[in-house]
Structure 1
Amino acid sequence: MHSPLHTPLMGQMMHQSLTISSILQFAARHYGASEIVSRRVEAGLQAGLQDALHRYTYRDCELRARKLAQALARLGVEGGQRVGTLAWNGYRHLELYYGASGSGAVLHTINPRLHPEQIAYIVNHAEDQVLCFDLTFLPLVEAIAAACPTVRAFVLMSDRAHMPAGTRIPDLLCYEDLLDAEDGDYAWPELDENAAASLCYTSGTTGNPKGALYSHRSTVLHAYASALPNVLNVGAIDTVLPVVPMFHVNAWGLPYSVLLSGAKLVLPGAQLDGKSLYDLFEGEGVTFSAGVPTVWLGLINYAIQNDLTFSTFRRTVIGGSACPPAMMDTLIDRFGVQVIHGWGMTEMSPLGTTGGLLAKHRALPVERQRAILQKQGHAIYGVDMKIVDDLGAELPWDGQASGHLLVKGPWIIASYFRDEGGDPLVDGWFPTGDVATIDPDGFMQITDRSKDVIKSGGEWIGSIDIENIAMAHPAVLQAACIAMAHPKWDERPLLLVVRRPGQEVGREEMLKWFEGRIAKFWMPDDVVFVEALPIGGTGKVQKNKLREQFKDHRAAQGVAGPGQARL
């Protein structure tokens, strides 16, 4: 006799699509009085502006997002069409996050720090139908408007009082006028959770930027996961200030995870200097923040120079590039701020790992704990990862083997927008371009970017470790390590250093600083002191520019570089 076929027993649960509008609806209904505080963009452009801070509630935000959805429909925006933004972290930008995506359109956040030609390329590649922008970027949009033929409406994110008297942009619309013309009687459409919701382009350090197109489902799942205790640990008791821009990978998902958690949200606008951030942290009682190391450098220096402490700030996530150990130590030991190392990328929505300790680590000495915290951290639920060698063979999780990092998961792209660059996946895994180790407990540590790794005599040298040691020197403000050509070893490390103001340190002293801290063959062959390092639009050091600038650099004639003949 044949056995009967076994069919799976289906769950008898309600179905509700995971859509971005559902986050805002939930927030307005269940945390309606939670506050959203924004520093007005006009405050940085108009001296003495009264009411430099804008305040309203989740409930107010949801109503205005519905009016925005109505306004976009009146402008002819249809489902799936892109709505571009050039804007800082502010309440109007937040309304676009929900009003555009919630209506079925695709929110397209654009990094205004890119070159104007790149911005025009991105607008045209995305075929943006509407472009909304803050007053800061009026000159930029005036410069590119004629080169953006797909844009049917340019909207200045301002009230009538701050509209320019004259502009080269034809038929420039006022954001507040558009909302004032609507009544808010709008029902969020029921959308397919797999429909496109938002679009972010990579920074494009090589070739043209490529678009990562996120779905409603992937965005909601990412928001759920990022709010978990082992990740960002966002709760209704928090006051959250994302310094990471809303034009950079959706501010690491915080505009979504904060609202679904019911926390107070503080948006800093364009003023990201140390004093402006410190005043906002203290004035609004910020408990948690997120940003790249260059931002924290300014805030820390301001607080130290003015002998200040933080009264409420207790937790930060630092990503974008590795947090220097000296910065982590300062935040923890001097200011009592817990540092969460985060790692991800545009193609990952972006979170992949966050740092923290396991229960078994509690008894370890502080130095051992810090070494764990300085890793990029543990995979969060929804992300799997592995490291492989140059031939694709998987490497062990022993904390020693270093290989190419690959990831997979429901908020990681399967292809770029319009299939740019072909299929990026390798056997279903996304190659991150990072070189990493993974220890037996699953903690991952980035040792380099694949394109930045220094290969000397067939051995890999991790530039990040060299940079971190250099920045622990009291006279060093910033450091970057790149490869320079060598006739025997192929490549050798070149260290570029920015001194702290008023501090002196020379080549020999800098090299001596490394003795006993790294393998001898890792020792830089030369040190060059520079006024500044090139920083890209996402706050990262642009090593591609440094490699071009120093491509002909060699260690001084007659001076045996400290790493030579030691491999």
Structure 2
Amino acid sequence: MRGMMMDVPLLTTSIMRHAAEYHGDTEIVSRLPDGSIHRTDYARTWRRCGRLARALVALGLSGGDRVGTLAWNGHRHLELYHAVGGAGMVCHTINPRLFPEQIAYIIDHAGDSVLFVDPGFVPLLEGLLDRLARPPRVVVLADAAGMPASSRLPGLLCYEDLLAEAAEDFDWPDLDENTACSLCYTSGTTGEPKGVLYSHRSAVLHAMAIVAPDVFALSARSVAMPVVPMFHVNAWGLPYAAPMVGAKLVLPGPKLDGASLHALIEEEGVTFTAGVPTVWMALLNWMAENGRRFGPLQRVIIGGSACPPVMIERFRAHGVHVVHAWGMTETSPLGAASTPKAKHEGWPEERLAELAAKQGRPLFGVGLRVVDGQGREIARDGTAHGSLLVRGPWVASGYFRQEGAPAFAHPGWFETGDVVTMDEDGYVQVVDRTKDVVKSGGEWIGSIELENIALAHPAVREAAVVARPDERWGERPLLVLVLHEGQYVTWAEMARFYEGKIPKWCIPDAMVVVEELPHTATGKLQKARIRDMLRAGKLPPALTS
């Protein structure tokens, strides 16, 4: 017997329509590249989405066509998110921080019919032309006065002119909820970047899950500032989640330095924000140097890479609650969030801090398994570690245009590449990435814990741990540090700093101090490059005991 409920498809189109109808006067604030502030609201944004959808059809685009974007977080990029998918096309957000050859590969592999770019990215696109097999048409996200000149890109189209020529009463198609709505490529740390193709259904379900109290806790009373870029895995779903609940949106544009972010938080009354650890470390350092405090900010989501416990403590000192989250491009991205349960009430502060440092427990809809090398589930005791597997309605089942690729090693499950522990309540803690674990004398040493300990030292600004070849043990951990300006620390001092915090055999045997560490386009440490530098003898001499 089937239930007698209406068969209404889950479409992203319904999100902005709902926001316009019931939260129409709620503000959307954008900082533009020139530093000025643009203000609009959900009602006007929905009307402009209609114009944009008509403009896309006028350009000759139809269902399934890919529409690329090279843009920061702003009101026009938000319009693209909702108009492109709603019109039956695929919004392909491209990370401009990737290497040029990766960007060119992604544009070609996706088969983008048209690119919408911020004016500041026109020179980047000009430099890519010779690498592109099929250069798409280009629309600049500007008005006529803000159009750049380009001798290499003739026929640039103006975004505002396209919208001005289109009516706003678009007949939004009644799509199947499994229709693709957006596309995002992995950062390609190994091999070429791979495309993850999201559906309307997956995007809506993901947004509904993350607004929950134990995840983002978003509501119509929230003022949300996604610092995570909209070109990175759907800005963690916030362009859908914020309008879904009617939250005020503050879009920071390209200026993500401490002073700019703090000003927006104070001036716009931001209560919620989300981003990667490197951005928050820079903000916290700026605030410490300038004696500033957070006024309205209540909650910050930290993900993308493991959040050091010292960062959680620094936010708490400002009265800001941190939620440590886990996810990846293939999981839309949120899969787990670390918030306490009723049983944790009354726990001592140090135990609550340990809990907050974990990546968290799975959201409803997400299944997690931790297995050993033979595929057997390990004990959920918070100590045994193994490979993390994930499945769910917003988890990728494969990659775009790789339909003939080998099936996943564990049928029905996606292997994340993370080595984790899991406790009896389902809280996972990432010990390391599979490729970054130090294998010493037959035992695994996780690099993340060693890095977090080093980051608690007052002289250390950034830390990475990689494996160094060792004749006796096979591998031993090497500590690579960036120090705060004017600071100095000896190896003996760092070795003492580790004592009593981890088993003695896990303490790194050597230390290297460098001026900076390499990062991926999304702010993660590029440990593969550090290992390459070590093998090539390009690191400074190691300090040892």
Which of 416, 439, 442 in structure 1 is aligned with 2:399? Answer: 416
Q: How does 1:547-562 map to 2 (within 5 A)?
A: 547-551=531-535
2:431 corresponds to 1:439: no
CA contact (8 A) 2:304 2:326 kept: yes
Q: 1:37 aligns with which of 26, 29, 45?
A: 29
8 Å CA contact 1:386–1:406 kept in 2: the answer is yes
In the alignment, structure 1 residue 460 sits paired with structure 2 residue 452: no
2:122 maps to 1:138: yes
Give deviations 1:479-513, integer Å, cap 9, x for gaps: 00000111121111000001111111111111111
CA contact (8 A) 2:512 2:542 kept: no
Contact 2:512 2:541 (C-alpha < 8 Å) held by counterparts? no
**How much has 1:311 moved relative to structure 2?**
1.0
The answer to whether the 8 A contact 1:415-1:422 is kept is: no
The separation in 2 between residues aligned to 1:424 and 1:283, in whole angstroms, is: 48
C-alpha distance in 1 between matches for 2:84 and 2:494:
52
Asked if 1:176 is matched to 2:160, the reply is: yes
Local SS of the residue matching 1:41: coil
Cα separation, 1, equivalents of 2:89 and 2:499:
57
The one of 18, 24, 29 equivalent to 1:26 is: 18
Question: 1-side partners of 2:174 and 2:465: how far apart?
Answer: 51
User: C-alpha displacement at 1:304, in angstroms?
Assistant: 1.1
Does the 8 A contact of 1:484 with 1:553 survive in 2? no
Once residues 314 and 131 of structure 2 are traced to their aligned partners in structure 1, the CA distance between those partners, rounded to angstroms, is 47
2:64 is the alignment partner of 1:83:
no
Alpha-carbon deviations, 1:202-249, whole Å to 9, x = none? 000111000000000000000000101111111110100000000000
Partner of 1:220: 204
What code does the residue aligned with 2:322 have?
V
State the match for 2:498 in structure 1.
514
1:314: which partner in 2?
298
Match of 1:193 among 162, 173, 177: 177
The residue aligned with 2:195 is: 211
Alignment of 1:26-425 (within 5 A): 26-43=18-35, 52-333=36-317, 335-419=318-402, 421-425=405-409
Residue 450 (str. 1) matches residue 434 (str. 2) = yes
**Following the alignment from structure 1 to structure 2, what is the Cα–Cα distance between the partners of residues 190 and 395?**
45
- Secondary structure of the residue aligned to 2:280 is helix
Cα distance in 2 between the residues matched to 1:267 and 1:220: 21
Report the Cα offset of residue 147 of structure 1.
3.6
Tell me, what secondary structure is at the counterpart of 2:55?
helix
Judge conservation of contact 2:517–2:525 (CA < 8 Å) in 1.
yes
Q: TM-score, normalised by structure 2?
A: 0.98
What is the distance in 1 between the residues matched to 2:175 and 2:540?
64
With over 3 angstroms needed to count, the CA separation of the structure-2 counterparts of 1:546 and 1:399, relative to structure 1, is: same
Aligned partner letter, 2:27: E
Q: 1:54 to 1:309 in 2, by over 3 A?
A: same
Q: Secondary structure at the match of 2:535?
A: coil
- SS for the counterpart of 1:352 is strand
Shift of 1:54: 0.5
Q: 1:287-339: CA deviations, max 9, x gaps?
A: 00000010001111111111111110010000001111111101002x10000
TM-score, normalisation: structure 1: 0.94
Match of 1:17 among 5, 9, 19: 9
Distance 2:312 2:148 in 1: 44
| Partner SS state of residue 445, structure 1 | strand
| Structure 1 contact 498–531 (Cα < 8 Å) conserved | yes
SS, match of residue 34 in structure 2 = helix
Query: What is the alpha-carbon distance in structure 2 between the residues aligned to residue 126 and residue 555 of structure 1?
Result: 38
Q: Which moved more, 1:355-364 or 1:220-229?
A: 355-364
Residue 151 (structure 1) shift: 4.3
Q: Tell me the amino acid that sits aligned with residue 67 of structure 2.
A: V
Cα distance, 1:78–1:341 mapped onto 2, change above 3 Å: same
3-state SS in 1 of match to 2:464: strand
Distance of 1:558 and 1:399 partners within structure 2: 34
Instruction: Tell me if structure 2 keeps the 8 A contact 1:478–1:497.
Output: yes
- AA paired with 2:15? I
* Contact 2:510-2:542 within 8 A present in 1 as well: no
SS at match of 1:513: helix
Identity between Structure 1 and Structure 2 (%): 52
Tell me: CA distance 1:528–1:558, structure 2 relative to 1, closer, same or farther (3 Å): closer
Write out per-residue CA displacement over residues 253-310 of structure 1, whole angstroms, 9 at most, x where no aligned residue: 0000011010000000000000000001101000000000100011111111111111
Q: Distance in 1 between matches of 2:230 and 2:278?
A: 17
Partner AA of 2:23 in structure 1: Y
What whole-Å deviation, never above 9, does each CA across 1:441-467 have from its counterpart, x for those lacking one?
A: 111100000010111111010100000
- The equivalent of 2:524 in structure 1 is 540
In the superposition, relative to structure 1, how do residues 203 and 556 fare at CA in structure 2: closer, same or farther (>3 Å)? closer
Deviation at 1:152, TM superposition (A): 3.9
CA distance in 2, matches of 1:556, 1:435: 30
Instruction: Give the drift of 1:145.
Output: 3.0
CA contact (8 A) 1:32 1:57 kept: yes
Residue pair 2:202, 2:393 contacting (<8 A) in 1 also: yes
Match of 1:4 in 2: none
1:433 CA drift (Å): 0.2
Q: Is the 8 A contact 2:512 2:539 kept in 1?
A: no
Alpha carbons 2:101, 2:131 under 8 Å: kept: no
Deviation at 1:41, TM superposition (A): 2.1
Separation in structure 2 between the aligned mates of residue 221 and residue 151 of structure 1, nearest angstrom? 34
Contact preservation (8 Å) 1:480, 1:496:
yes
User: Are the structure 2 counterparts of residues 97 and 315 from structure 1 closer, same or farther at C-alpha, using a change threshold of 3 Å?
Assistant: same
CA gap 1:77/1:151 in 2 versus in 1, 3 angstroms: farther
Q: Distance in 2 between matches of 1:80 and 1:505?
A: 56
CA contact (8 A) 1:414 1:425 kept: no
Three-state SS of the structure 2 residue aligned to 1:403 is: strand
Question: How many angstroms apart in 2 are the aligned matches of 1:169 and 1:522?
Answer: 55
Determine the C-alpha separation between the residues in 1 that align with 2:178 and 2:42: 26
1:418 alignment partner, SS class = coil
Could you say which residue in structure 1 is the equivalent of 2:470? 486
Structure 1 residues 542 and 555, CA gap change in structure 2 (3 angstroms) = closer
Q: Does the CA contact (< 8 Å) of 1:485 and 1:551 recur in 2?
A: no
Cα deviation, residue 165, structure 1: 3.5
Q: 1:556 to 1:164 in 2, by over 3 A?
A: closer
Measured after TM superposition, the shift of residue 168 of structure 1 is 1.2
In structure 1, the residue matched to 2:484 is 500
Residues in 2 aligned to 1:425 and 1:77: alpha-carbon distance in whole angstroms: 37
Q: Structure 2 vs 1, CA of residues 425 and 236 (structure 1 numbering), >3 Å: closer, same or farther?
A: farther
